[in-house]
Each structure stands twice: as structure tokens, then as C-alpha cells.
Amino acid sequence: MSGASSQLALFLCCCYVVALGVHTVVHRVAEDHEAEYYTAAVYEHQSILSPNPLALVSRKQALELMNQNLDIYEQQVMTAAQKGVQIIVFPEDGIHGFNFTRASIYPYLDFMPSPQLVKWNPCLEPHRFNDTEVLQRLSCMAIKGDMFLVANLGTKQPCHSSDQGCPSDGRFQFNTNVVFSNNGTLVDRYRKYNLYFEAAFDTPPHVDHIIFDTPFAGKFGVFTCFDILFFDPAIRLLRDSEVKHIVFTAAWMNQLPLLAAIQIQSAFAIAFGVNFLAANIHHPFLGMTGSGIHTPLKSFWHHDMENLTGHLIIAQVAKNPQGLISIENAPDKMDPSHRKFLEILAGDPYCEKDSQEVHCDRATTWNMNAPLTFHSEMMYDDFTLVPVEEKEGYLRVCSNGLCCHLLYQRPTLSKELYALGVFDDLHTVHGTYYVQVCALVKCGGRGFDTCGQEITEATGVFEFHLWGNFSTSYIFPLLLTSGMTLETPDQLGWENDHYFLRKSRLSSGLVTAALYGRLYERD
């Protein structure tokens, strides 16, 4: 299994992510097994695609293709219903596909009335509006499965030349998520605001902040793929403290070492203390896989670059997700490695610091030779890095205003090259946005120029603290080990104006440990 080659990144709306932070030091705890749960499902769909998305087809032909995908959706709904599922999420572009032009996608679009203005049950009122066949099928599925259903489709809405942003052809075309209740009623719709090279669709005149209520788990927020990178709608939604759950549709192309789908999904749940229900499309030849049901403490995920089949994930999810507790209540707060981390932060009098090392009389003998920095491309960005060469030690590397630090131990030295990298600048490829990143990564080979390459297998096991003097509170903790395996931090949070991540007892070799920060105001 591996990520997609970077050349494919312009094909469709793959997602990049925003770092989301918490301002308290936290520690992992066991979930409260007495909490009330609901049963959720996400389906990673191997969609049936148009052989020529640029061709102009009739509505009948478009429906023939879409109904093939909807038939699969219906099968999954019925399977989920047998397991008592109360909400199911399907991926972005799963019904109609992708790579259309504005004209060629038009036959695939359903008319979309505003749920704020019209109460409508498409299954029970099929003739109320024209061109709503897809909405009708989805509504009937929700009834048949007796569950809330979230799906993504293309929609159209007529407009007048006097309307804000109305295109010259007199219609809006939106990338839309729809939410149906278990009785088939159209609860709400979300129109994707941050489009990713999607010529077929329009940006809505205003951003939708959609929160829908459920009888089984309270409030859910909803957004799509590339939206997750931006303040609106993702972060603004979570300002509502009653939003404990997010449903997320994606056509997400993996890009290692920092932005694989399951990495980001899990990090979102951890950073915000929410449940994150993420459905991605499944097209391994495009590097597209990775879905999951993620809580702040546990993930149920699917990542498969080998098999050409869809996959249904079902899990019980706490209605009130257990978050993380402060370090003051943690039983291992006086762990020697954490004590050393605190001494370094505090400028311990027994420690003599230079530009890249710390030497402490009360500590193990540290590497006396400060490693030279080097540069390598990672995620299309020019990272500054230092090699991680010893069995244990402390390293620092800086760029612009950000300094990244690593305190580490490992039981044995592997032949693999690891490096600690920093980036503090505008990311300018496939979107422009400002990021601050501290990353410990396994390199693709022994050469420095391989650091930042996409790899999925590793044998190096670390115990470490990773931290930086971030100037944003929006920070994503990313942890990925060999075989595309997710890990949860032992601790993370703020200490002395530095944000840190601590991890020990990795289950397998480390691929990536990173703190991915996002500065919206510098875009």
C-alpha cells in the first residue's frame, strides 16, 4: 500500500488539512464504557465512473450511470440496517464521479430547493419538483434503512442576472451534501464552499454553516473535503460547543508523509475532541482511499491500495466523546523523559544549550556533534531538516520564527534514515495557505534528498517528545506507523508557550510524527 504519485494531485478535489489546537496539556484516558452510544457507518465507495466525463449526455443516460452507484448505496444501507446503524455517510463524488466540465456535468445535477424554505420528503412527494430522481432514491433509502443518511451529489439552482454571483448561463451548480432523516425528510443541505479545481461547480454566494440535530446523538456539523483546510466552515462550526460530531465527505487523494486521509481524519478528532465520521471515495489507481470513524481516543479505519472493492465501516460511538484530561491528573506525569522535556523548556541550570543540542549533567551523555542542516522537498515545500542519527538525544531545527525540538530514545538503531524538519511559510502548490510544521519523518532512502518522499513501511521505533514554539493555536497532531497504522498521542498540549506531542510504545515502525499548524490570517 502506498500514497498516490504527486502528478495526480490536479485530477480532482483531494483534500489538504488545517491544524486545530487545544490550549491545555492533555493525556489519554480510557473511554467511559458506561457512556451512551450510537451506531454509525461510513462507506468507502468504489464508484462506477463515466468512461468520458467530458461528453455531453442526456439526463436519461446520466441517470443510468448514477443509478448503478445508487444501487450499491442501497445494498450498503440494507446491510447497515441489519447492524442497527442510525446514521450512514457516503463519499464525495460517489454518485456522479468527477473530472466534468460545467456543461458536461449538467445532466447529472438534481434540482435543489432550500430546506430552510421548503419542508420536503422526496420519497413521499416525488412529483413536487422536476429533476430530483437522485434525491428521491436517497430519501427512500433513509426510510427503508430507518437511519439518517448523508450523501454527496451535484445540484442546480436557477438564478437571475441581478442575483449575487449568478453565472452567465443563469444557474448555480453546487457540490452538495444532503442530510435525510430516518423518515426520509430532507433535513438540510451543505454546498461546498472551498472548491479544489472544480470547474463544474460554483462557489456559493455565502458559506453554509450547517448543523443538524438527531434524536440519538444531538448536533452534527457537516462539510466536504478541501473545506477542512479553512476557517470557514470547519472551525466556525465547532464554535458551537454542542457540536460533538462531524460528518465529512471526501474525494481525497493521499499525499504522504503528512496528509494521508486517515492521518488527518484521526488528528481532527483528537485536536477538537469530537467524533469524526469520514467517507472517502475508493480509487486506488488515483491514490484515493482512507475512511474512518474516529473518536478522540480510538479509530476504526480502512486504507487499502490493493483491492478494488468498497468497504463498509460500522462502529459504536459515544454520544458524548471522551476527550483528554490534564497532565496534572496523569499517573505518569513524573516520567523521566517528560521531566527532561520540562527541564529543557525551563532552561534547567544543569543544562548547557547550544544552537542544536542540550548537554545535561544529570542526563545521558548527549551527542556532542551538532548535525548540519539540509533542505529537502516535502509536500512541495522546502523543509529545513537535521538527521536523527543517534540512539538518543535532543535536536533543534529552525526556520523563520518556528523552532522545532525533538527529545528521543530508541532501543536499537535501524539502517533507516530519519530526519526532523521544519517549515514556516506559505504553501503555494495546489492552493495557497500558510502553515507551520514540525515533523519527524522516515526518509525514502539513505540520501538526504529522500527525506519527504512518500513511504508507508518503517522499522524504527521511537519514544519521543516533539514540540515547537507555534504562533497558532490550530495544530493537528499527526501520528502514522508502518503499514498505514494510526497511533494516538500519549500526551499533547501547551507547555511554556510551546505545543508538544509525546509518544512511547509505538506498535510498529514510525513513518510520521508531526505537528501541523495553520495560520489563516497569513493567507
Has residue 480 been placed in a domain? yes
Q: Are 170 and 267 in a shared domain?
A: yes
Cα–Cα distance between 103 and 123 in angstroms, integer? 28
Cα–Cα distance between 38 and 87 in angstroms, integer? 9
Q: Are 125 and 268 in a shared domain?
A: yes
Has residue 22 been placed in a domain? no
- HSE-up of residue 316 (Cα within 13 Å, Cβ side): 9
Q: Are 413 and 274 in a shared domain?
A: no
Has residue 222 been placed in a domain? yes
pLDDT, tens only, 457-485: 999 999 999 999 999 999 999 999 999 99
Which pLDDT does position 324 carry in this prediction? 60
Whether 183 has a pLDDT exceeding 90, the answer reads yes
Q: What is the residue range of 417's domain?
A: 371-522
Q: Are 376 and 283 in a shared domain?
A: no
Has residue 328 been placed in a domain? no
Last residue of a domain, one of 318, 352, 386: 318
Spatial CB neighbours of 457, under 8 Å, sequence gap ≥ 6: 482, 483, 509, 511
**Mean pLDDT throughout 300-314?**
97
**Mean pLDDT throughout 137-164?**
97
Has residue 363 been placed in a domain? no
Has residue 395 been placed in a domain? yes
The CATH number of the domain holding residue 62 is 3.60.110.10
36 is annotated as an active-site residue: no
**Mean pLDDT throughout 238-259?**
95
Cα–Cα distance between 121 and 348 in angstroms, integer? 66
Q: Are 148 and 75 in a shared domain?
A: yes
If pLDDT is split at 50, 70 and 90, which confidence band does 333 have? Answer: low
192 is annotated as an active-site residue: yes
Q: Which of 13, 14, 140, 225 is catalytic?
A: 225
| Residue 33: how many other CB atoms lie within 10 Å | 8
Q: Say what percent of the chain tops pLDDT 70.
A: 87
74 is annotated as an active-site residue: no
| Residue 2: how many other CB atoms lie within 10 Å | 15
Which pLDDT does position 341 carry in this prediction? 92
Altogether, the residues listed in the chain come to a count of: 523
pLDDT, tens only, 355-381: 444 444 444 444 445 678 999 999 999
Whether 15 has a pLDDT exceeding 90, the answer reads no
Has residue 347 been placed in a domain? no
Whether 421 has a pLDDT exceeding 50, the answer reads yes
If pLDDT is split at 50, 70 and 90, which confidence band does 323 have? Answer: confident
Q: Are 314 and 397 in a shared domain?
A: no
Last residue of a domain, one of 318, 336, 357: 318
Which pLDDT does position 368 carry in this prediction? 43
Q: Are 122 and 235 in a shared domain?
A: yes
Helical segments of 121-242, H only: 133-145, 236-237
Q: Are 292 and 394 in a shared domain?
A: no
Last residue of a domain, one of 256, 288, 318: 318
- The two beta strands, 87-89 and 37-44, are parallel
Which pLDDT does position 350 carry in this prediction? 38
Q: Are 303 and 190 in a shared domain?
A: yes
Domains in the chain, number: 2
Q: Are 414 and 501 in a shared domain?
A: yes
Question: In angstroms, what CA-CA distances link 101 with 171, 202, 368?
Answer: 15, 12, 59
Q: Are 259 and 128 in a shared domain?
A: yes
Has residue 153 been placed in a domain? yes
Residue listed under C-alpha cell 471515495: 281
Q: Which of 13, 123, 192, 392 is catalytic?
A: 192
If pLDDT is split at 50, 70 and 90, which confidence band does 74 have? Answer: very high
Whether 327 has a pLDDT exceeding 90, the answer reads no
Q: Are 259 and 383 in a shared domain?
A: no
Spatial CB neighbours of 365, under 8 Å, sequence gap ≥ 6: none
Cα–Cα distance between 282 and 288 in angstroms, integer? 5
Contact 10, 430 (CB under 8 A): yes
Q: Which of 13, 44, 92, 463 is catalytic?
A: 92
Of 295, 171, 316, which Cα lies nearest the Cα of 245? Answer: 295
